Amino acid sequence: MSDKIDIKSMNYEELEQFVVTGLNDKKFRARQIYDWLHVKLARSFDEMSNLSRALREKLADQCELTALTVVKCYVSEIDGTRKYLLRLPDGNIIESVLMKYKHGNSVCVSSQVGCRMGCRFCASTLDGLARNMTASEVLDEIYVIQRDINERISNVVIMGSGEPLDNYDNAVRFIKMLSDANGLNISQRNITLSTCGIVPRIYDLAGEDLQITLAISLHAVTDERRRELMPIANKYSIEEILKACRAYYGHNNRRLTFEYSLVKGVNDSEEDARALGRLLRGINAHINLIPVNPIKERDFRQSEANAVVNFKNKLEKYGENVTIRREMGRDIQAACGQLRKNYIDALESEE
Ligand code: SF4
């Protein structure tokens, strides 16, 4: 990374301050610059046509303007889902997904390059964590896609590669800037953050007073079983996670989502469904069942379709609100993190 100022990660107040004290210019310039960066989605200072050439040169001198580039885009012929491989300014590759729904366009963003959480069913973690992403890089995943399709993005899920609460400050900054009325102004209610359950950070997040949906990757009903799937379970028990969730709800009054990946023969029995229903009793929850995507490096298999439906029916008997995640972009099938991994493996085998 260069040592220039990452201007696109500055929030509105910080930019105002920088324009006045760093650039020695008028305060109203900040509004113009912020508008170019976060509404018009400019990719260079040269595009900022209502700024003087001198100011544009000064900006280019002192600041870097984070702009991701599309390496590849796979488009589903079935449902229009687009999976993007994007290059970060330092050459790292990440992936983002656009899903088209009747209610609008939704983007699933990555928040780290790789991940160090080690969940057994996830391809993003196979090579560990390379680095955290900056707020500007995560924002630009959305900006690049909005520019590409020339349609507004209305929903965002932070559920791609990386654990957002392991990159807490940048993740929170990203959410605040994404929902800023001076920027893209995406409602916080349309933003979901998914975590594997870093308990202290859930309490921190509750204190931020955000209106986002918190999604917990639960995936098992006992600590013992969860530890087999997710190393983070060695650190925090399910009980501790649920206690933090109750605190989050107490603060924000926002219904929680629990993600449960169904792995054939591992956690998809009727007994598991009953145990999950008992576990979440009394919590205002939405349960999202995800038939797990097989990845070639692990031997997990997807639950049979009837096992998924049985699981859902059992849970509903407990009064739970349950959905089965619709598989988007089936014809461009790639588990989370798999596109990036395949691309990097192919590059390495060419060398
Ligand atoms: S599921 Fe999420 S937290 Fe777990 S390894 Fe994959 S990216 Fe990391």
Average pLDDT over residues 79-108: 95
What is the predicted pLDDT for the residue at 265?
A: 86
292 close to ligand 1 (CB < 6 Angstrom): no
**Contact 33 CB / ligand 1 (< 6 Å):** no
First to last CA, the chain: 24
The catalytic residue positions are: 95, 336
pLDDT of amino acid 176: 98
Sign of the C-alpha dihedral, residues 46, 51, 54, 56?
A: negative
How confident is the model at residue 88, as a pLDDT? 98
For the Cβ of 161 lying below 6 angstroms from any atom of ligand 1, the answer is yes
Residues 6+ apart with CB under 8 A from 81: 75, 97, 98, 99, 100, 328, 329, 332
Q: Can you tell me the mean pLDDT for 261-266?
A: 87
Q: Which residue has the tokens 């924000």?
A: 252
The whole-chain average pLDDT of the chain stands at 92
Q: Is 262 exposed, middle or buried (0-12, 13-18, 19+ CB in 10 A)?
A: buried
Pocket test residue of 94, 110, 111, 119 for ligand 1, highest count of atoms within 8 A of CB: 119
Q: Residue 52's CB: how many other CB atoms inside 10 A?
A: 11
pLDDT score at 181: 97
* pLDDT tens per residue across span 216-249: 999 999 999 999 989 999 999 999 999 999 999 9
Burial tier of 115 (Cβ tally within 10 Å: 0-12, 13-18, 19+): buried
According to the model, what pLDDT value does residue 134 have?
98
The answer to which of 50-64, 127-141, 302-316 has the lowest mean pLDDT is: 302-316
Kindly give the distance from the C-alpha atom of residue 158 to the centroid of ligand 1, in angstroms, as a whole number.
11
Q: How far is the CA of 152 from the centre of ligand 1 (A)?
A: 28
Q: Which of 123-137, 177-191, 278-292, 298-312 has the lowest mean pLDDT?
A: 298-312
Q: Which residue has the higher pLDDT, 307 or 236?
A: 236
pLDDT cut 70: percent of the chain above it: 94
Task: Please indicate whether residue 111, judged by its CB atom, sits closer than 6 Å to ligand 1.
Answer: no
Q: Whose CA is nearest to atom 4 of ligand 1?
A: 119
Q: Is the CB of 202 under 6 A from ligand 1?
A: no
Residue 166 has pLDDT above 80, yes or no: yes
Give residue 333's pLDDT band: very low, low, confident or very high (50, 70, 90).
Answer: low
Q: Is 94 in the pocket of ligand 1 (CB under 6 A)?
A: no
Q: What is the pLDDT of residues 39-91, one digit of tens each?
A: 999 999 999 999 999 999 999 999 999 999 999 999 999 889 999 999 999 99
**What is 72-101 written as a DSSP string?**
EEEE-TTT--EEEEEE-TTS-EEEEEEEEE
Q: What's the average model confidence in pLDDT over 100-123?
A: 93
Largest CA distance in the chain: 69
What pLDDT shows up at residue 335?
A: 56
124 CB near ligand 1 (under 6 Å): yes
CB 156 within 8 A of CB 186: yes
Check whether 336 has a pLDDT greater than 80: no
pLDDT at 296: 63
Q: Is the pLDDT of residue 339 over 80?
A: no
Q: How does residue 342 score in pLDDT terms, banded at 50, 70 and 90?
A: confident
Distance, CA of 302 to CA of 7 (rounded, Å): 44
Ligand 1 atom having least distance to the Cα of 161: 7
pLDDT at 349 > cutoff 70: no
186 — phi, psi (to 5°)? Answer: -80, 125
The type of residue at 232 is I
| Contact 218 CB / ligand 1 (< 6 Å) | no
Q: What pLDDT is recorded for position 263?
A: 86
Does residue 270 surpass a pLDDT of 80?
Answer: yes
Across 240-267, average pLDDT = 93
Ligand 1 lined by 196 (C-beta under 6 Å): yes
pLDDT band at residue 328 using 50, 70 and 90 as cut-offs: confident
Question: By three-state DSSP, how is residue 130 classified?
Answer: strand
Pocket test for ligand 1, best of 124, 126, 292, 339 (most atoms within 8 A of CB): 124
In this model, does residue 144 exceed pLDDT 90? yes
In the reported structure, the alpha carbon of residue 308 is separated from the centroid of ligand 1 by a whole-number distance in angstroms of 22
What is the number of the ligand 1 atom nearest to the C-alpha of 159? 2
Q: What is the pLDDT of residue 105?
A: 97
pLDDT on residue 180: 98
Among protein residues, the one whose CA lies closest to atom 6 of ligand 1: 122
Pocket test for ligand 1, best of 95, 110, 115, 293 (most atoms within 8 A of CB): 115
Asked if residue 332 has pLDDT above 80, the reply is: no
Query: Which band of pLDDT confidence, cut at 50, 70 and 90, is reported for residue 255?
Result: very high
Lowest mean pLDDT among 85-89, 224-228, 323-327, 334-338: 334-338
